Amino acid sequence: MMSGLLKVLAGLLSACAVAAGILSLSEGTWQQTGVETAIALFGAPLGLLLVSHAQGNRVGWLMLASGFFAGVFLVSGMLTGLGVARPEPAGWAPWSAWVNGWSWAPFTMLGLGLLPQVFPDGRPLPGRFWSWWWRGSLGATVLLTALLMAGPHSPAYPQLPNPWWARAMPWPALEYFDAPLALLLAMVSLGSVASIVARWHGADTGLRRKLGVVSLAGILLLAAGAAGPWWVAPLAATGYLAAILWAVLQRSLFDIPVLVTRAIVGLVLFGLLWAAYVLSVVGVGVLFGAADGQVAAAFVAALVVASVFDPLRRGIGHRVERVFALGRPEHRRLGAGLSAAAAGAGDGSRALEVVGRLLAEALHSPGLAIVPEGATGPAPASSTVAVELYWRGMPIARLQLPPRRGAAAVHPADLRLIGHLEPVLALITHEAMLTADLHRSRREVLTAREEERRRLRRDLHDGLGPLIAGVTLSVAAAQKTADTRPARAAELLAGASVDLSRAVADIRSLVQGLRPPALDDLGLVAAISRLHPATGLEVSVAETGEPRPLPAATEVAAYRIAQEALTNVIKHAGARTAGVTLEYRAAELVVHIEDDGIGPRGGVVAHSGLGLDSMCERATELGGSWELVAVPTGGTRVTVVLPAAPAAPEPWVVR
């Protein structure tokens, strides 16, 4: 709430200062008060811009306060001039003269005395000395203003006495306080110079350049105010404010595009409102006469300005933002458009193509490409910038962004836009990659099915087919010779019996290759226990957790991996015992195979050969994992994690 109130206060102060500057221009007094008019017109809005983006930065507040008091000085001077122009001074004239007599001090001290001490980051130099000097300078400004308030009369209007003197503060001695006033001014000025010098000695090259530019602008302002034509001082004041703006923006303390855009909007809006004000005053003056129409003209002009302010601000702001963005769309609208286009594309890979084309059109960047990880994209040019797209902290793709048509390099605004769109692009790219993986998995399943069919056909056609055909011929020949040559018939039948035995063995081998029969007859634990019974290797099989039926693919993979691992133990480990543990988890089956053999040679685990590739492939094709490590006490341990059940979606609970 305090933040909103401060912004409202800052806006009111700025509006009052700008209104005072406009009145100064309209009354023609700005030739005598050019510096004050420039500070009110430009210093206060600039301070408002800085305050709206960083309320804790004193630079913005000091500029805003300086512009406001400059406006107070202008308005009080104009009112006093109107009051003393009459045959008898108006009743408000002493009061406005009194305000005019002290209001010059705040805007001068704040803008030229205190602001350099906290420039450019809004903080005084580190150290207790500089902190107390800053507080002392602020107190000196307040004291100087208070002494001027208590003075006997305004320096510009000595004929108008201080209206408070007759009431509460008859201090005639204060009329002679020129020396204390000069001392206070010198103290604050000395603090500003010393602060700039000290900050210069501890600054880098960039900050020194900024301090030098602002210091030079301040010196020119002081020199122009002391001597020179009337029009030099307003230009010097405007240059001083522009130097502060340049230095603060160069320091990147604020959002530069937003600040510059709003500054342009403010300047254009000021020009249009000023034109509307002048036209209204002139028009009403022509209708009612110059003498009788002043009040009506002012009222009508204020009404016109108030009525057109908000529509003009919105319209100008929209157009300036479009021009400043150089045709770049707003990132939220572009992100929503990309999401809608991706949803309408249907297929994920098609969505990535549509999104890439739309993004290239929006950025006027031909050759833009989104290249997923592992894919080979077009060869980028030397001026192309690669932007990584991340999904859950992992890089999934890179966006190759070439410069715009006719540009030599990628504009920083385009990179900022891509940065805002990175989550949307990463999500769309991730979906496209998932779709591509799904299509690839389907092709692999179909390919595996066709390969298995081809293998079965080959085994049946080349093995079992000729064997059974030979048995048929032998039986037919035996039938023909059974009566005439019984011995020959018996010989043929014996050969047919051998061939049938071979056919049965081939069928069993073929069936076992599809799924080991022991899994259906004995179960997984007993089937693993009966592996390699005549090798002398003592194999123990145990289960932990809660045993339950497993998916067929998981059960076969666990059996084959255990079979291959035990075969490696027999051939290469020289072990006496081996243990297989089946650990049932919530959605996983973990198979541990450990032996007491010699272990990997030199303690180094080979990552290929010895059937390891086969075990790794069986685990990874089911979405599991595989690990082989050397046991410190000797031997080898193989750990395989396999999915034990389809993953059920977990509910999303908002807590």
pLDDT of residue 255: 45
Highest mean pLDDT out of 204-218, 309-323, 371-385, 551-565: 551-565
Per-residue pLDDT, 651: 44
Give the 3-state secondary structure of residue 431: helix
Query: For 32-46, 172-186, 283-297, 512-526, which range has the lowest pLDDT when averaged over its residues?
Result: 283-297
Express as a percent the part of the chain with pLDDT over 70.
72
Residue 653 clears pLDDT 50, i.e. is over it:
no
Read off the pLDDT band of 271 (50, 70, 90): low
Q: How many CB atoms lie within 10 A of CB 345?
A: 17
User: When comparing pLDDT for 436 and 33, which is higher?
Assistant: 436
Residue % of the chain over a pLDDT of 90: 3
pLDDT (0 to 100) of residue 318? 58
pLDDT at 580: 92
What is the pLDDT, as a whole number, of residue 655? 39
pLDDT of residue 360: 80
Strands 538-544 and 588-595: unpaired
Q: What pLDDT sits at residue 29?
A: 56
Tokens of 428: 């769309």
pLDDT for 479 beyond 70? yes
Q: Write down the residue that tokens 């002009």 correspond to.
A: 301
Q: Is the pLDDT of residue 620 over 50?
A: yes
Q: What span, in angstroms and rounded, lies between the C-alpha atoms of 492 and 477?
A: 7
Which of 210, 133, 156 is closest to 29 using CA atoms?
A: 156
The answer on pLDDT for 581 being more than 90 is yes
**Residue 1: per-residue pLDDT:** 41
The yes-or-no verdict on residue 289 having pLDDT over 70 is: no
Identify the weakest region by mean pLDDT among 32-36, 143-147, 592-596. Answer: 32-36
Beta pairing class for 577-584 and 625-630: unpaired
Return the H-helix or E-strand segment holding 117. Answer: none
Give me the half-sphere count of Cα atoms (radius 13 Å) on the Cβ side of residue 162: 22
Cβ-proximal residues to 496 (8 Å cutoff; 6+ apart), any chain = 470, 471, 474, 475, 478
Mean of pLDDT values over 393-418: 78
Position 168 confidence tier, pLDDT thresholds 50, 70, 90 = very low
pLDDT top residue among 641 and 504: 641
Using the predicted structure, report yes or no on whether residue 517 has a pLDDT greater than 50.
yes
Residues 171 and 208: beta-carbon distance below 8 Å: no
Q: What is the pLDDT of residue 173?
A: 43
* Residue 171 pLDDT: 47
Read off the pLDDT band of 567 (50, 70, 90): confident
Confidence of residue 253 (pLDDT cuts 50, 70, 90): very low
Residue 529 pLDDT greater than 80, yes or no: yes
For residue 106, is pLDDT > 80? Answer: yes
Question: What's residue 590's pLDDT?
Answer: 93
Contact criterion met (CB below 8 Å) for 591 and 615 = no
pLDDT > 80? residue 426 = yes
Q: Give residue 169's pLDDT.
A: 46
How much is the pLDDT for 294? 55
Residue 549 Cα to chain centre, angstroms: 48
Indicate whether 592 pLDDT > 90. Answer: yes
191 pLDDT above the threshold of 90: no
Dig out the tokens for 607 from the structure.
């990552």
Q: How many Å from the N-terminal Cα to the C-terminal Cα in the chain?
A: 28
pLDDT tens-place string over residues 321-368: 554 444 555 566 777 777 777 777 666 667 777 777 888 877 777 777
Interatomic CA distance for residues 215 and 113, integer angstroms:
12
User: pLDDT-based confidence at 172, cuts 50/70/90?
Assistant: very low
Residue 161's pLDDT is 78
Three-class secondary structure of residue 240 per DSSP = helix
Q: Which two tokens stand for residue 16?
A: 């009052």
CA atoms within 13 A on the CB side of 102: 19
The answer to whether 36 and 44 are in contact (CB under 8 A) is no
Summarised one tens digit per residue, pLDDT across range 13-26 is 777 777 766 766 66
pLDDT at 589: 92
Average pLDDT across the chain, whole number: 74
Q: What is the mean pLDDT of residues 248-267?
A: 53
Residue 489: predicted pLDDT: 80
The answer, yes or no, to whether residue 462 has pLDDT greater than 80, is: no
Residue 198 predicted with pLDDT over 80: yes
Of 214-228, 352-366, 600-614, the poorest mean pLDDT is in 600-614
The string of pLDDT tens digits covering residues 367-387 is 778 887 777 666 677 778 888
Mean pLDDT, range 438-453, rounded to an integer: 77
What per-residue confidence (pLDDT) applies to 229? Answer: 64
* Residue 304, pLDDT above cutoff 70: no
> Is the CB of residue 405 less than 8 Å from the CB of residue 374?
no
pLDDT for res 583: 93
- pLDDT given at position 254: 45
DSSP 130-199: HHHHHHHHHHHHHHHHHHHHTSSB-SS-TTSB-TTTTTT---GGGGGTHHHHHHHHHHHHHHHHHHHHHH
Contact 555/589 with Cβ under 8 angstroms?
A: no
